[in-house]
Structure 1
Amino acid sequence: MYNNIFLRKATYEDMDLIFKWANDSAVRNNAFNQEKIEYQEHKKWFKSRLEDKNTLIYILTKNNKDVGQIRVDIDNKVGEIDFSIAKSERGNGFGTVLLELLIDKINNNSFDIYKLIGKVKKKNMASKKVFIKADFNKIKKENKNYDIFYYKIKEGYNMNEQIKLTSDRTIGKNKPAYIIAEMSANHAGSKDRALEIIHAAKKAGADCVKVQTYTPDTMTIYSEKKWFQIDKGTWKGENLHNLYQKAYTPWEWQEDLKKEAEKIGIDFFSTPYENTAVDFLEDLGVEFYKVASFSITNLPFLKYLAQKAKPIIMSTGMATLAEIDEAVRTIREAGNDQLALLNCSSAYPSIADDMNLKNIKNLEETFGVPVGLSDHSLGSVAAVTSVAMGAKIIEKHFCMSREIENPDASFSMEPDEFKKMVDDIRAAEKAIGKIDYSISEKEKNSRLFRRSIFAVEDIKAGEELTEENIRVIRPGYGLKPKNWEKVLHKKALKDIEEGTPLNWDLIK
């Protein structure tokens, strides 16, 4: 690839060399930890890294001279890069060479890496240029301290822009947002109220109503120990088992709830939390599933659910990108590619500062799936905004009245509020429209109120057109303003009355 330039694997003999480069003043200044590295600490670190199967360290050599180093720390098939160039060799393009040789080495070996990333301090312009020259892309994620660049070694995920939830319901690209009314605990222990919620959700414009399938005993145990007492947030003071006792939807209701939803033409599905709930819902004939944010790290459960080969909508609250990646891969590797993700802030209620709606586009680009919003905020601003940012699913808690006491009432929408949200989402979708610069019929009428060139005094034939007798004014029946200099100081071909729009037939 390059004459006399290659990467060699680092060995223990490179310990002092890398120590020297690491403590270079420019390297420390651009590092996230700027403190000088102590030698004994470096020795321990370097030894552990060389022995770590998830770390790659290479030395760049030119004509048998060491000119730089690069390290890759691998986590969930994503390799994070750290590199440096010897002080005497900076400015010679070796940074880009390092990255290109690394990519070539990964492509030609069996390293299980599908993406490389590099974090670069905002002020480190030299390193930014290195990543860009090596065809890395900048992740569209705002951070005040650093930028992130990435390079796809291999396609981690096939693009799956649409998923078919039911025989007659497809969601994703070029489809309207799929709006889910989350019943959760808002039945407040009444089956009749649960049925009422289904009807009200349909009337309010929801596409789907969702319940949750668990019992207090499948979620936790009853204990008075401190770990089972909630000491913060909306449910502060509750015992965990008691909270689930108040909130759960009895399993014996769920067949009737599903039948009622089918009867009135609204989709019905559920969030199971463990395998027995999945088995129950399979017997019930549920066509697709929801995974709650709290289950995203329960990989054995995700595998079991994915093996049912039904579409899955998974929330991502509280999860790191690595945890989301691990969950998605678990589902994919179980043979299920019918997946959508929901951006989510798992606070009840969520506040605007924590919503991070820019994650929607990033999740879509990263995982190649339809993405939506599980919205626990108050009001509809986040939901409507997210649709404008590409969300294809909106999930919102739904209640008949917040006055009906239950664990989820405080952050749920009443029917009239939910209907207003649905109407606003549908209006937003129309407003988003498409890329189209053609002029509508209504706009054609409005164009007449643009400015154009008019006679503002009576002008005799042969008289000069001046700034006193012509002007650029509304309406737009005359020559366009761009012709002003062409018209000025020309002669009138005939008498022109005040208030006449100028055209070329009136000018010599």
Structure 2
Amino acid sequence: MSNIFIIAEAGVNHNGDVSIAKELIDAAKSAGANAVKFQTFKAEHLVSKVAQKADYQKQVSETDESQLEMLKKLELSYDDFKDLKKYCEEKGILFLSTAFDFDSIDFLESLEMPIYKVPSGEITNLPYLMKIASTGKPVIMSTGMSDLDEVGLALEVLRDNGVGTMTLLHCNTQYPTPFEDANLKAMLTLKERFGLAVGYSDHTLGIEAPIAAIALGATVIEKHFTLNKSLVGPDHKASLDPQELKAMVTSIRNIEVALGDGIKQPSVSEIMNKEVARKSIVARRNIVKGEIFTQDNLTVKRPGNGISPMKWFEVLGMSAMRDFCEDELIDL
């Protein structure tokens, strides 16, 4: 990934409707994201009948339903995902989806998905990690709710079972994440500890945190988005709308270019200003031929196309080779 890889996380913000999913693909493409990512699962394989919803899910969905009932409403069929992958190909954006169970991994493998995303909740799921690793595909792994030891164990499993290329995403698994919990510097800790490319999966409100992550060296950014934040569902409220997504992508691309190559030298655009902004040694007053240059008859003024003031003491004490008018550039 030579450029910043931006994943527009549609997740389950299609609310189980494939037509909305296609609109999300359109929005991600229009925003300039590299990939649009969904979530592939069979609810009964993902959660038990007694699993409770997270507090943030309770606040934005029907309170009398279980997590299983909520997720059943958010499922898309495998045929739907085949349709969505084809639609992504037609639109020219990479299709990705996070698998949450073995059958879904096998299905996505049948679609020849080029990259697998391990979500934060699966980082301690040994059988799942082994299954993902068996594909041999590159892996992007979110690290929400984990410490360095847990990240290290997961990486060991992936590496020992066939994964070569891995990218770690710093993440906070709260929707939305309070800014004081974003802890962007932890991304640098991950990079230093494991020597891998790093990125940031963001759940804060707005676009400031992912832009800051780019400045810190993130190579991958993942961000939830929706068509309408007021829709019913667990992730809409903490997602970007299409205009915000486009603003984030534009800002990231600008920062990506602005980071440059790190070589400190005059840029092409500023070279033309050197003569205008810098100064030269000039005559403070009229000087006659043979007069000795002193601090009384010399000064420093713009433009900068004469003798540099850095040679001030080399010029002092020399004799004028000709007459000079006030403000005239000194030559030797």
**TM-score of the aligned structures, taking structure 2 as reference length:** 0.90
Q: Which stretch shows the higher mean deviation, 282-291 or 182-191?
A: 282-291
Q: Quick check: 2:42–2:104 contact (8 Å CA) kept in 1?
A: no
The sequence identity of aligned pairs, in percent, is 39
Aligned-partner Cα distance in 2 for 1:185–1:458: 79
Secondary structure at 1:243's aligned position in 2? Answer: helix
1:459 is aligned to 2:321:
no
CA 1:215–1:477 in structure 2 vs 1: closer, same or farther (change >3 Å)?
same
Give unmatched runs, 5+ long, in structure 2.
none
Q: Quick check: 1:219–1:273 contact (8 Å CA) kept in 2?
A: yes
- The letter for the 1-side match of 2:104 is A
1:283 is aligned to 2:107:
no
CA 1:179–1:501 in structure 2 vs 1: closer, same or farther (change >3 Å)?
same
- The letter for the 2-side match of 1:472 is V
CA 1:288–1:482 in structure 2 vs 1: closer, same or farther (change >3 Å)?
closer
Cα displacement (A) at 1:463:
3.0
Cα displacement (A) at 1:274:
1.8
Give the corresponding residue for 2:217.
390
1:228 is aligned to 2:52:
yes
Aligned-partner Cα distance in 2 for 1:495–1:423: 58
Aligned-partner Cα distance in 1 for 2:175–2:199: 18
**TM-score of the aligned structures, taking structure 1 as reference length:** 0.61
Give the corresponding residue for 1:501.
329
Aligned-partner Cα distance in 2 for 1:492–1:283: 84
Q: Which stretch shows the higher mean deviation, 242-251 or 209-218?
A: 242-251
- The letter for the 1-side match of 2:279 is R
- The letter for the 2-side match of 1:292 is P
CA 1:461–1:262 in structure 2 vs 1: closer, same or farther (change >3 Å)?
same
Give the corresponding residue for 1:473.
301
Aligned-partner Cα distance in 2 for 1:495–1:184: 78
TM alignment of 1:62-461, pairs within 5 A: 171=1, 175-223=2-50, 228-230=52-54, 232-233=55-56, 235-236=58-59, 239-448=66-275, 449-461=277-289
Larger-gyration structure (1/2): 1
Q: Quick check: 1:247–1:407 contact (8 Å CA) kept in 2?
A: no
Aligned-partner Cα distance in 1 for 2:205–2:223: 10
Secondary structure at 1:186's aligned position in 2? Answer: coil
CA 1:365–1:229 in structure 2 vs 1: closer, same or farther (change >3 Å)?
closer
Q: Alignment length, in residue pairs? A: 327
**Residues 337-356 of structure 1: CA deviation (Å, up to 9, x unaligned):** 23222111111112332222
Cα displacement (A) at 1:371:
1.7
Q: Quick check: 1:191–1:253 contact (8 Å CA) kept in 2?
A: yes
Q: Quick check: 2:225–2:241 contact (8 Å CA) kept in 1?
A: yes
Aligned-partner Cα distance in 1 for 2:271–2:53: 66
Cα displacement (A) at 1:229:
5.0
2:320 is aligned, of 477, 485, 492, to: 492
> Greater RCO between the two (CA within 8 Å, min separation 6)?
2
Aligned-partner Cα distance in 2 for 1:359–1:337: 23
Cα displacement (A) at 1:211:
0.6
**Residues 359-410 of structure 1: CA deviation (Å, up to 9, x unaligned):** 3333233333322111111222222222222211111112122233322111
Q: Which stretch shows the higher mean deviation, 432-441 or 375-384?
A: 432-441
Aligned-partner Cα distance in 1 for 2:258–2:268: 17
